[in-house]
A and B are shown apart, each in its own frame.
Chain A
């Protein structure tokens, strides 16, 4: 059992559509990070959320940290081919001061 479960594992949608991907856990986290990894590259940090209920926006991307700090979601509006990549969440669970990564959602945007 993974500490951070991401869903869906794979998602393929048409350009212009909206989508939401999820990062869930039974543990409480002090913070959660979202990274995007493009093919052939390393992950790049998109955002860090630290407060329960927090919402952060990055252009067409909206990140939300759950009120109980156990889950997070990433919503993309009007997806574009440049959004294609592996989306990883990572968090630090309370009581275990190690950054833990989820298994990722592999997103493909079809032109």
Chain B
């Protein structure tokens, strides 16, 4: 099994749909992250969870709702998205959540909002 697994790999949704992105890590890490990668922009940190508690929310609109039921699983629930939310959404994990730790990324979900 790969270290960090994301599903689905691709997602097309309308602005009124509700969908969820799933991330699972098999590394025994305590911290998990959601990042957004858009063309011509740096990777943007969205949310950080450490030991299943949200420790950071980088002013992300409420149409993105994260959920971390345990230290191995992370979800991103999507509702009434906008076309500008189309991007690659990357999940990552790290051992303890300290700031310059090595991040292990999944392959991402390529999201298109129509």
Q: Which of B40, B41, B43, B99 has the most CB of A within 10 A?
A: B43
Residues 85-111 of chain A: 1 if any B CB is under 8 Å from the residue's CB, otherwise 0?
000101010000111111110000000
Contacts of A11 in B (CB 8 A): none
Size of the chain B interface, CB-CB below 8 angstroms? 17
- Bound together, the chains give a CA A44 to CA B102 distance in angstroms of 9
Closest approach, in angstroms, between the C-beta of A10 and any C-beta of chain B?
A: 11
Instruction: Return the CB mask of B85-114 against A: 1 if under 8 Å, else 0.
Output: 000001010000001101111111000000
Question: Which residues of chain A (9-60) have a CB below 8 Å from chain B?
Answer: 30-31, 33, 40-45, 48
Bound CA–CA A41/B103 (angstroms) = 14
Mark out the residues of chain B between 34 and 92 whose CB falls within 8 Å of any chain A CB in the assembled complex.
Answer: 40-43, 45, 90, 92
Bound complex: CA A45 to CA B106 (Å) = 12
Which of chain B's residues have a CB closer than 8 A to the CB of A74? none
Q: A42-B4, A100-B42, A103-B41 are in contact. Are A31 and B100 (CB under 8 A)?
A: yes
A-B contacts, 11 listed (Cβ < 8 Å): A40-B107, A42-B90, A42-B107, A44-B105, A45-B102, A48-B100, A92-B99, A92-B100, A99-B103, A100-B42, A104-B42
Q: Which residues of B contact A76 (CB under 8 A)?
A: none
How many chain-A residues does the 8 Å CB contact rule pick out? 23
The reply to whether A48 and B107 form a contact with Cβ atoms under 8 Å apart is no
By a CB distance below 8 angstroms, the chain B residues around A2 are 42
A101 touches B43 (CB 8 A): yes
Whose C-beta in chain B lies nearest to the C-beta of A6?
B42
Q: Are B42 and A101 in contact (CB under 8 A)?
A: yes
Query: Other CB < 8 Å A-B pairs besides A42-B4, A42-B90, A42-B107, 20 of them?
Result: A4-B42, A31-B100, A33-B100, A33-B102, A41-B107, A41-B108, A42-B92, A43-B103, A44-B105, A45-B102, A90-B43, A92-B100, A98-B45, A99-B100, A99-B103, A100-B42, A101-B42, A101-B43, A103-B41, A104-B42
